[in-house]
A and B are shown apart, each in its own frame.
Chain A
Amino acid sequence: MTRKTNTAGPSGYTILLADDNPDYLAATSLLLGRQGHTVLTAGNGTDALSILKNQKVDLLLIDYYMPGMTGEEIVLKLRQVNPLTQIILQTGYAGEQPPHELVYRLDIQGYYDKSEGPEKLLMSVEKCLKGTLK
């Protein structure tokens, strides 16, 4: 069993992916996993916060609209205790809030519109990871 996978070697980064759509979690995990990142997933805000409490996470990729707690609320809570974790807010519809204003207000590193495609996501992720303190 020596498959010629074109998976990058371990990057050493841990990414937490939070979204209420299980298909999206699964597919995006595969996408990010290919880049050698360790991907953790959470189906809602509460799970995401408990993972963040117990584990070192370099980047949080979080959906804006989630049942129970919105991405914005999670970010605000997280920022109270952890100002360093890189955060990318994702949304299916970027039209409602200007991304620049959101990035500035919530002290996050990126804003990803799901319609922009996987390439754009990987680029944003790489940019953010490069900015992390190791």
Chain B
Amino acid sequence: MIPADSPSVQTIGIKKPRSLPGRIRDWLFKPADSIKRQDDRRQAQLLSILLLAIILLMTSGVFGARANSPVISIILAVTVVIELIAYAFSRTRHYRIAAAIAVIIQILQTQAVFIFPGNYNINSATTMLVWSSVNVLLCSLFFSSAVTSGMAGATLIAILLILFPLAHLEFTPLLVSPFAFYIGMSVLIIVIARHRDDLEKDRLFELTVANRELDAIRTQLEERVAERTKELRQAYDDVQAGHERLLHSEKMASLGRLTAGFAHEINTPLAASRAALTEVDHLIHEYQDSIDNPEVTPDDHREIALELFKVMKLADNSMENIAGFVHSIKAQTRDVPDEELLSFNAVPVIQEALLLVSHALRRGNCTVTFEPEMETAELHGIPGQLAQVITNLVTNAIDASAEKGGGPITLLLTQNRERIDLQISDQGSGIAPEIQPKIFDLLFTTKSVGHGTGLGLTIARDIVKDVFGGSIEVSSQMGEGTTFTLHFPHYIKKSK
């Protein structure tokens, strides 16, 4: 569909005012198809008026001829001119051709009167003029009605056109030729008009059929689109639900890892405290039992008190370890709303995250060294999520190292003018080159069922990218180890 105001439509538009030469060019050469029905009708009205004028001039011409006046030639010349104007106004191609031929014949006829005046008496010349002018009138009406009113009007006028000269009794050789011409022309025009009508009917029918088909197709399409949309929505919802389930299972797996770490970190000092308290219990009983016992000296009591103090200190120390551990967890998971991004120092966050994996480190027989090049590295994001990334990557490093019986894991924090980089390297089993492109894919895992969800690295990448605006890359040598490098942009404070 071309928009109504597009330039291509404007150039064809008939309403647009044009210069006179332009209009003349249009009249002469413009193809019929570009002309609207309404313009045809207006043109037919104009032609009728012109032809009425011709009749009037003809009639007066006849009277002038009777008086053998030179006026006749003037009138005939004017008739020809008016016919030429009529021709100019006719825009339909076959009408134009027909009108042109009619005008030529008219001229020839008129000339014949003067070229061969001896062969014609004034009466026959007058008669010729009358019927030829009526012929022109009918012919013109026929053409215009063939164009405007369709078959019925055209047929009627064609019959009159044929009948009129038949009713005329005076046949002369010169009259025969236009007579034959008019009959032939009438038949031709009827055939053309009928064909035109048929074509239009056919086209209308085809258009109606096509329209109906289009309607049906459109309805079908709309239904199909609605159906597909519904299916897509369903699929989207399913994927969304699946994604949430997976995220949940990764969260549960992380929680499991964390719980194991928590349990170990807390249970050992807790057991130490409880053992110490058992000892306290013994000492208190001993103290109570020896009150008023003459054999037990004050020195003994002092010794008991000292032992009590030592054991209490032992229990207290263990409790303090637990408290310290809990504090470090609290620092990691402090109540920051999920979406709230803030600027923070990455160094302590990384240190605290490493505390959380110390249990896993021991289990995998790994050691970790964290070498920050600077005291503060300001990142903009969510501290807890950075810790999650570190935990994830270090856990992976431990798993890879454990396959080789353990090993050192190194975290290197550096910064330059462009960015802050964190490298996490292990000397573990490495990642095969063919699977390196896939490691960040959702659900990709090489770990056995129950040990890997295939989400850890995906989530790590998403956090680095979406929360911190950074990027993550990996380089690995089979059997040599793996290095994950996180690139973080420097945080530029936005002026308010």
Contact = CB atoms under 8 A, between A and B. Distances in A.
Interface of A: 1-7, 19-21, 23-24, 26-28, 30-31, 34, 63, 65-70, 91-93, 95-96, 113-115, 117-118, 121
A31 B264 contact: no
Contact of B272 (A3, A27, A69): A27
B311 A27 contact: yes
B377 interface: no
A93 B290 contact: no
A69 B267 CA distance: 20
A28 B286 contact: no
A106 B304 CA distance: 42
B300 A28 contact: no
Interface in B340-388: 359, 362-363, 365, 367
B263 A1 contact: no
B300 A2 contact: yes
Given A3-B300, A3-B304, A4-B296, A28 B260 contact: no
A91 B263 CA distance: 9
Given A28-B275, A69-B365, 6 more contacts: A21-B268, A24-B275, A63-B268, A65-B359, A92-B268, A114-B268
B447 to A, nearest CB: 15
B363 A65 contact: yes
B265 interface: yes
Contact of B274 (A5, A68, A117): A117
A112 to B, nearest CB: 9
B111 interface: no
Contacts of B311: 27, 30
Contacts of B183: none
B318 A24 contact: yes
Nearest to A66: B362
Interface residues of B, number: 42
B295 to A, nearest CB: 5
Contacts of A31: 275, 278-279
Residue from the set A4, A20, A34, A95 with the largest chain B CB neighbour count within 10 Å: A4
B296 A93 contact: no
Residue from the set A19, A26, A68 with the largest chain B CB neighbour count within 10 Å: A26
Interface string B265-305: 11111111111101100100110011001011101100110
29 contacts: A1-B300, A1-B303, A3-B303, A4-B293, A4-B295, A5-B282, A6-B282, A6-B286, A19-B268, A23-B317, A24-B318, A26-B272, A26-B276, A26-B314, A27-B274, A27-B318, A34-B278, A65-B363, A68-B365, A92-B264, A92-B266, A92-B268, A93-B263, A95-B260, A114-B267, A115-B267, A115-B270, A118-B278, A121-B271
A2 B303 CA distance: 11
Nearest to A63: B268
A24 B300 CA distance: 26
Given A2-B296, A23-B272, A34-B282, A92 B365 contact: no
A30 B359 CA distance: 26
A91 B275 CA distance: 15
A30 B276 CA distance: 7
Contacts of B367: 67
Contacts of B363: 65, 70
B263 A23 contact: no
Nearest to B287: A4
Nearest to B297: A1
A101 to B, nearest CB: 15
A99 B476 CA distance: 37
B259 interface: yes
Q: Is the interface of B mostly helix, strand, loop or mixed?
A: helix
Contacts of A7: 282
B471 interface: no
A93 B268 CA distance: 9
Contacts of A3: 286, 290, 296, 300, 303-304
B328 interface: no
Residue from the set A5, A34, A69, A93 with the largest chain B CB neighbour count within 10 Å: A93
A93 B262 CA distance: 9
A123 B287 CA distance: 26
B193 interface: no
A30 B315 CA distance: 12
Contacts of B286: 3-6
Nearest to A21: B268
Contacts of A24: 268-269, 271-272, 275, 318
Contacts of A67: 362, 365, 367
A2 B299 CA distance: 10
A115 B263 contact: yes
B485 interface: no
Contacts of A2: 295-296, 300
Given A4-B289, A68-B365, A23 B265 contact: no
A24 B275 CA distance: 8
Contact of A118 (B274, B289, B297): B274
Given A27-B272, A27-B315, A96 B300 contact: no
A5 B281 CA distance: 12
A95 B263 contact: yes
A110 B279 CA distance: 23
Contact of A1 (B264, B299, B321, B365): B299
